[in-house]
Structure 1
Amino acid sequence: MSRDVPDRGTGSRHDWRLPLAGLAAWCGGLLAAAGPGWSVAVVPAALLALALALGGARLLPAPAVLTASVLALVALAVGGAALARAEQVRTSPLRAMAQDHALVEVRLLVTGDPREIAGRFADGVLVRARVLRVEEPAAGGSRSGSPGTGWTLGAPVLVLADTSWADVRLGSTVTTSGRLMPPEGEDLAAVLTPVGAWQETRAPDLWWRASARVRAALHEAVAGRPEPVSILVPALVNGDDSGLSQDVQADFAATGLTHLLAVSGTNLTLVVGLLVWVARLLGVRGRWLGVVGAAGIVGFVLLARTEPSVLRAAAMGAVGLVALGPDGGRRAGRALGAAVLVLLLLDPGLATSAGFALSTLATGGIVWLAPAWRDALRAWLPAGVAEAVAVPTAAQLACTPVVAAISGQVSLVAVGANLLAEPLVAPATVLGLLGGLLCLVHPALGRPVGTVATWCVAVVVQVAHRGADLPLAAVDWGTSGAALLLLTVLTVAVARWGPVLVRRPVPGASAALVLVLVTVVPLPRPGWPPDGWLLVACDVGQGDALVLASGEGEAVVVDAGPDPTAVDDCLDDLGVERVPLLVLTHFHADHVDGVAGVLDGREVGQVEVTWLLDPPGGVEEVAAAVAGVPVRTAAAGEVQQVGDVRLQTLWPLPADPAAGPGDGSTANDASVVLLAETHGLRLLLTGDVEPPGQEALARAYPDLRVDVLKVPHHGSSHQDLELLTGLGARIAVVSVGADNDYGHPAASVVEALDAAGAAVLRTDEDGDVAVVTTGSGPAARTSGGDGS
């Protein structure tokens, strides 16, 4: 994606034929993915019939009939290709064997770099590969009844392996044995879990080995520099952001800078642009410059890997390079349409890819929307400034509805953040690549250059961090059809009338000032937090973060949720400046990944954790985040007074700290369960304790009664309902994320609690939930209004 606004051309109009062909191809892919199979043929056929009928009645000119006919055929071609590919995967012998969980021996071509996974699901490695041959062992028989049957094919699989697979090389051919399992998506024939060691039978080709050497050199150029800049510099060149903390990723997402963490057309434009510039300096001219550019694109794809996202970025980057040439406006529009058409013919699955949609829309925004904004701003701003503002504005406008559909938010700082960050992206990318290339000669030559690149990136990190910390960096919008339709209409209106508004300095500057004030000045939330709040369940998404008021400006925090920014914002709203006690009920990511947000700008006196140190990824993250803070293990029977709050630990039973199985599967039932008493109320905070633990609690405390219940495990269906409904709770709080993939909370649990007389409040629907005390007992207030 080019970051320069293409010229419209002299007295020219856009040629919409190729862009419309690209749109038709996209529609064909969407029909194949989301509609019934017959729609792929029926919808284009109906369009073709309508065009021919209108043409026959002379209501549509012949060129328009021809165009409509071509568009129908394009949609049919892409939709048909998508169905054919899906059918090929579905009928693959591999898919059939996966349904039977067959034990097989395979020969694989490794098509993706190994990616380490850690945390909730045991440490391991994910590898994308293509099965060249599969055999069922003779001892086990085969589906066909012929022992030792084998097939030669080319089916895509995902290998879920142990850490020994971290050394497998992209482009190599390996053999192994393993068990096949059905995949979740339609793009894979199977998931393979190896049960034996892997063996390389064919080394990667020369270009893959050279690519791996350059990638290693990029990291060598920034060796010794601190994170996250040592990760981000290579990421700008090749999109490899592995190891980047969730905090930094959240900051980049909130400020609309996520595109910098992935392979994008901007990366290619900068890298190939540098190559072409060097070629010019060396005297290369004419068609040979095109050859150099094409070679640069191929080299970039090899460097960043031949994954769909990289091929998409290469295509969009090529569009950007076209836009920089003569008559860039018209040529770039045609090139974008051609790129979309070719990409969807090669991989129809891109039609449903969010990355593809964002990349295409951003490029289209720059090509078709940015010129109007640039020309309007030029009336009172210098040309360079006008273009710098127009590019991120147009790209962000074009992407806004899709971003909202993905995240449920509309960023208010994205344009400003991109405006501040973009001038540093180009030097960081170019210097990062140059430093890596020099490291191929000697590290002493490349590291000084890489260091300068990290200085540029450090500023970008600060832009993201400061922008994400603004009071209203993003607005929660929702993902319903009506909400997205309204946002699309508003986006189109801004795209159409925005340039008219900013053409004159007074309304243009006023609009910018209003946006800045809305973003920077905190908006009051009348009545929030409510006076005398005792407990607040923070709306942190799919996770837990509970706050117990223990004194003026201080609180006990129980769990930190999955997002540091969310829990930090909640504590800021509550005026919490000191946390005398932070309790982490267990080490799953949805309870501990936000720990850094609790510590951000606050004094934490002590941390209490469960005895089960599992999963290892969560344990390590907590240890790093709370370094220097005293940590102790909670155990049943302990009672402590923290300010206004009396805390009794009910579960787990005392035990020495110990490692678990490593996959987090037993972590829930080792959750710390607390009984909190404050201002005459009794509150039961249950973590994610499972039915076995709940049954043990019922046996140990048969007469337990409480006023407020934090429902275990986000309202999962796996509950001891006899215990939960017998507690006598008048308020039940479910901390849960909107539209989560787990079906939380289960309707059966909500209905049972409601029938038992509890008012059930949910953070996904009610926002932050506060508990206060009244003359008649507990009451709930929510950030969206009264709860009960």
Structure 2
Amino acid sequence: MDRPDLRMLALAGAAWAGAGLGRWVGWWALVAVVAGLAVVAVVRRRVAAATSRTVAGVLLVLAAAGTVTVLRLDQVDRGPVGVLAADGAVVQVVGTVRSDPRTVSARYGDLVVTRLELRRVTGRGSSYATAAPVVVIGDADWLDVPLGARVGATGRLGPADDDDLAAVLSARGPPEVLAAPDVWWRGAAAVRASIRSSVAHRPADQRALVPALVDGDDAGLDEALSDDFRTTGLTHLLAVSGTNLTLVVGFLLVLARWAGLRGRALLGVGALGIVGFVLLARTEPSVLRAAVMGSVALLAMGADGRRRGARALGVAVVVLLLVQPSLAVQPGFALSVLATAGIVLLAPGWRDALARWLPRWVAEAIAVPAAAQLACTPVVAGLSGQVSLVAVAANLAAAPAVGPATVLGLCGGLVGLVLPFAGRVLGTLAGWCVAWIVAVATRGAALPTAALDWGTGVLALAVLTVVVVAIALVGPFLLRRPVTGVGCCLLLVLVVTVRPPSPGWPPSGWVLVACDVGQGDALVLNAGPGSAVVVDSGPDPVAVDRCLDRLGVDEVPLVVLTHFHADHVDGLSGVLDGRRVGAVETTVLLDPPGGVREVAAAAGSAGLVPRPAPYGETRQVGDVTLQALWPPPGSPTDGPGDGSTANEASVVLLAEVHGVRILLTGDVEPEGQAALAQVLPGLTVDVLKVPHHGSRYQDEPWLLSLRARVALVSVGADNDYGHPADSTLDPLVDAGTRVLRTDEDGDLAVVVDDGDLGTVAAGG
């Protein structure tokens, strides 16, 4: 069996280390490397020439990567754009649009974000020629600016967090288009539009997924479906990756072979295919990275692939880090390199072991995704806090449909330029293939133990890395025999399909749980065995879904959404997923519009129509007694459109479960709190959900007058809002209230034990 050439991989590691040292240590790292080179020169005669050359090469690459990194950072900091950004200067710029404008939700409305390659910047009385990338944050006028256009704009520069960027430009007013895009950009835009048009008649998931598979265009993809893809390890299908390029260029090479092309002509077709793919998927850093890694994968699939693939991977990493040193700290780059390394280094051994008792094509189909997934596991866990247990099986199940869906989607776009009806036919076929991939993702994510929660601390990731290395080494020995190979598979199936018990959770006698959903609210009232009333759903469908799963909630007779901010409603699809939901109630103020649309779409998919929570009406929902205390009748139903008045319109609920009085306050502001104090003087409760995540803006006398024995703060760790404020929590603590926070203790449960009120924290 061909052995990989590890020397180039050693150089790749040196480049990575050099980029890191240059970023965090600076010139001192380079001085140390020069000293190392001097030591090598002295001892060279005492070691083998080959070893000496390798060590010298490692040190030279490390020095080169470190030098380039330091110079790049210095260029960004001291260049004209960086200096103007540090001063917060108002400037006029001319640049070329380098990414498709996209809409993002912000606290006070939607914004449009795009990238510009600046060619000229004028500010502080001077004008400079430059070549600096910046991110533009503008309004809706920027949505219509085509990729590749040269534009002029005015705005204020500010520092950027990403080292790939020289600054952030907060644009003022619409851009001025100075020159239309070049013909190749217009052609790529036409193909992308044709791909979308070819599947426009298909269901929403297929309309979004076919373009995502072909060119990474995932606009309109449902967040809940994205979470299912993440849980099942299929996220790489939603973004531009080496897989996309391999499929597209591989298809072109097959066509070229059928046409009789060989040798250099075949290489030319491959090169043109790579260039065309980059134009189609956009020349952003992630696309260029994917193109390089996909090219390495194509090379590794040929003769002597393991040796050539390892060399190509090493060269690719070194070149990419010298050209773009900031890749050293980008998770996407690490995942691409690790996945490719797994395929090149691990997959052949696993394939050969499985091929002892399986057909070779089956062995290869299992080994490739398993090796790639295993190599990426520590980084994925560090990013998501999860280890997917169904990723390999999901990728195997989806694999037969990925290639046809990608190729048919591309053909649908190309043919649709000339024959729109034929393009729609091909788009329909691509949509059918995608429907299978969607089924794999949704069914896989619904399995009881589809993903294992894992810590993101140093110790947890170190332990996981050791486990991964052990599996990589032991894997071929276990897989070479049918008994141990099948036994491992059966064990994994058992772990995935049988939900393990959670010791001590949910705690006996629980009446209320505040789910740890990050910076947001999701409260669960115990309505009976397997049943609960849910108040708000947090910002993350996966987080609230898992919280309800841990509580064993299968039926939700009522969901109340206190207001339409994203941190209270974006997780609604997670509540609806796989559960019987009776009704969805909301506040009367239909603002911000984005949240209103999100709720209507999610509820509509479950056959529900949201309705306002009835003011003042006392209702019994299972074991829960509910009464809406706010907003009062006659409150506004229309807002300014930016959500700035939504907090004050929060639904405030008084609930009682097994004799425990609970006040759920949403994000109601001090004015509303003062009004409630006047309307309901003498109101006291056992449990208070502190308004607005413990914000400092509170009516302190009202909070203290409630005389709550327990106060729960639902808040995200290290949030940017300063929540919760000591000025809010300290008076409650001084008054004898026990205050608990989800950012410190995880899920929080209020329990009743023989009439006594207690609390249990999932985090200990």
Assess same fold via TM > 0.5.
yes
Are residue 19 (structure 1) and residue 9 (structure 2) matched?
A: yes
Partners of 1:119 and 1:664 within 8 A in 2: no
Matches within 5 A, 1:82-93: 82-93=69-80
- Pair 1:671-2:647 in alignment: no
| Cα separation, 2, equivalents of 1:716 and 1:20 | 51
Report the Cα offset of residue 541 of structure 1.
3.5
Q: Secondary structure at the match of 1:285?
A: coil
Which residue matches 1:484?
A: 461
Return the match for 1:658 from 637, 647, 657. 637
Whole-Å separation in 2 of the counterparts to 1:478 and 1:328: 36
**CA 527–313 in structure 1, closer or farther in 2 if over 3 Å, else same:** same
1:455 aligns with 2:435: no
Deviations, residues 663-708 of structure 1 (Å, cap 9, x unaligned): 3344333322222223322212122334454455456555343211
Pairwise CA distance, 1:49: 4.5
Structure-2 separation of matches of 1:474 and 1:398: 17
What is the alpha-carbon distance in structure 1 between the residues aligned to residue 12 and residue 492 of structure 2?
Answer: 35
**TM-score, normalised by the number of residues in structure 1:** 0.91
Q: What is residue 19 of structure 2 aligned with on the other side?
A: 29
Secondary structure of 2:392's aligned partner: helix
| Cα deviation, residue 585, structure 1 | 1.1
More moved, 750-759 vs 304-313: 750-759
How far apart are 1:756 and its partner, in Å?
Answer: 3.5
Identity %: 60
Looking at structure 2, the residues matched to 748 and 476 of structure 1 have their Cα atoms a distance apart, in angstroms, of 34
Question: Is the counterpart of residue 368 in structure 1 residue 345 in structure 2?
Answer: yes
Residue 212 of structure 1 pairs with residue 189 of structure 2? yes
Deviations 1:317-366 (A, max 9, x none): 11011112221110110000111111111111111111110010000001
Mapped pair 1:189 → 2:189 = no
Task: Look up the SS of the partner of 1:125 in the other structure.
Answer: strand
Q: Aligned residue for 1:377?
A: 354
Q: Map of 1:348-359 to 2, 5 A cutoff?
A: 348-359=325-336
Question: Structure 1 counterpart of 2:464, which letter?
Answer: L
**Shift of residue 444, structure 1, vs aligned partner:** 1.3
Which residue number in structure 1 is paired with residue 61 of structure 2?
Answer: 74
The residue that corresponds to 2:203 in the other structure is 226
Q: Secondary structure at the match of 1:369?
A: helix
5 Å-filtered alignment, 1:27-426, equals 27-33=17-23, 35-52=24-41, 54-55=43-44, 58=46, 60-118=47-105, 120-136=107-123, 143=124, 146=125, 149-426=126-403
Residue 163 of structure 1 deviates from its aligned partner by 1.5
How far apart, CA to CA, are the structure 2 residues paired with 1:637 and 1:14? 73
Q: Give, in angstroms, the shift of residue 86 of structure 1.
A: 2.0
Q: Is the Cα contact below 8 Å between 1:41 and 1:76 reproduced in 2?
A: yes
Question: Residue 547 of structure 1 corresponds to which residue in structure 2?
Answer: 524
Quick one: distance in 2 between partners of 1:767 and 1:433? 45
- What TM-score results when the alignment is normalised by the length of structure 2? 0.94
Report whether the alignment pairs 1:528 with 2:468: no
CA contact (8 A) 2:509 2:753 kept: no
Distance 1:749 1:369, change over 3 A: farther
Is the contact made by 2:682 and 2:705 (CA closer than 8 Å) also made in structure 1? no
Correspondence 1:682 to 2:661: yes
Q: 1:321 to 1:630 in 2, by over 3 A?
A: closer
| C-alpha distance 758-723 of structure 1, shift in aligned 2 (>3 A) | same
- Residues 1:38 and 1:693: Cα distance change in structure 2 (over 3 Å): farther
CA contact (8 A) 2:555 2:580 kept: yes
- Match in the other structure for 1:139: none
Q: 1:630 to 1:111 in 2, by over 3 A?
A: closer
> How far is 1:764 from its partner?
4.2
Structure 2, unaligned runs of 5 or more: none
Task: Give the Cα–Cα distance (whole angstroms) in 2 for the partners of residues 412 and 50 of structure 1.
Answer: 48
Most deviating of 41-50 and 124-133:
41-50
| CA 1:658–1:30: 2 relative to 1, 3 Å | farther
Equivalent AA in structure 2 for residue 26 of structure 1: W
**Residue 731 of structure 1 corresponds to which residue in structure 2?**
710
Distance 1:575 1:478, change over 3 A: closer
Q: Is the 8 A contact 2:139 2:173 kept in 1?
A: no
Matches within 5 A, 1:728-767: 728-738=707-717, 740=719, 744-746=723-725, 753-767=732-746
Structure 1 segment 552-563 matched on structure 2, within 5 A = 552-563=529-540
Structure 1: how far apart are the matches of 2:545 and 2:71?
49
* SS of equivalent residue, structure 2 residue 85: helix
Q: In the alignment, residue 337 of structure 2 is paired with which amino acid? A: T
1:710 partnered with 2:689: yes
Q: CA separation of 1:90/1:29 partners in 2, compared to 1, >3 Å: closer, same or farther?
A: same
Deviation at 1:600, TM superposition (A): 3.2
Whether the 8 Å CA contact 1:120–1:617 is kept in 2: the answer is: no
C-alpha distance in structure 2 between counterparts of 1:587 and 1:287, whole Å = 59
1:150-186 residue CA offsets vs partner (Å, 9 max, x unmatched)? 2222222211112221110111101222333343434
Whole-Å separation in 2 of the counterparts to 1:347 and 1:663 = 38
Cα displacement (A) at 1:277: 1.3
Distance 1:256 1:633, change over 3 A: same
Q: Secondary structure at the match of 1:175?
A: strand
Quick one: distance in 2 between partners of 1:544 and 1:671?
Answer: 12
Contact 1:615 1:664 in 2 (8 A): yes
Larger CA deviation: 731-740 vs 608-617:
731-740
Aligned residue for 2:576?
A: 599
Tell me how far apart the structure 1 counterparts of residues 678 and 762 of structure 2 sit (CA, whole Å): 37
Name the CA distance, whole Å, in 1 between partners of 2:287 and 2:220: 19
Question: Quick check: 1:123–1:662 contact (8 Å CA) kept in 2?
Answer: no
- Contact kept? 2:600, 2:609, Cα under 8 Å: no
Matches within 5 A, 1:561-640: 561-627=538-604, 628-634=607-613, 637=616, 639-640=618-619
2-structure distance, mates of 1:498, 1:745: 48
Cα 1:504/1:604, change in 2 over 3 Å:
closer
CA distance in 2 between counterparts of 1:575 and 1:710 reads: 23
How many residue pairs are counted as aligned between the two chains? 762
| Distance in 2 of aligned mates of 1:764 and 1:476 | 16
The answer to whether the 8 Å contact 2:27/2:70 transfers is no
SS class of match (2:417): helix
SS at match of 1:662: coil
**Counterpart for residue 3 of structure 1:** none
2:502–2:550 contact (8 Å) kept in structure 1 = no
What letter corresponds to residue 74 of structure 2 in structure 1? Answer: E
Given the superposition, is the C-alpha separation of residues 764 and 383 from structure 1 closer, same or farther in structure 2, using an over 3 Å criterion?
farther
Partners of 2:718 and 2:232 in 1: how far apart? Answer: 23
AA of the residue aligned to 1:732: A
1:48-102 deviations in whole A, cap 9, x for unaligned?
A: 345445546x2x4332222222222212222222222222222233333334443
Instruction: Report Cα offsets for 1:378-409 as digits up to 9, x if no partner.
Output: 12222111111111111111101100110011
Shift of 1:492: 0.6
Is this contact kept in 2: 1:635–1:652, CA < 8 A? Answer: no
Q: CA deviation at 1:618?
A: 1.1
Q: Runs in 1 of length 4+ with deviation above 6 angstroms?
A: none
Match of 1:429 in 2: 406
- Cα offset, 1:603, TM superposition: 4.1
Mapped partners of 2:740, 2:542: distance in 1: 23
- Output the CA distance in 2 between the equivalents of 1:29 and 1:335: 20
Deviation by residue 1:258-287 (Cα, 9 ceiling, x = unmatched)? 000111111111111111111111121111
Which of the pair has the greater relative contact order for Cα pairs under 8 Å at 6+ separation? Answer: 1
Instruction: Choose 373-382 or 603-612, whichever is displaced more.
Output: 603-612
The whole-number CA distance in structure 1 between the counterparts of 2:637 and 2:82 is: 40
Aligned residue in 2 for 1:777: 756
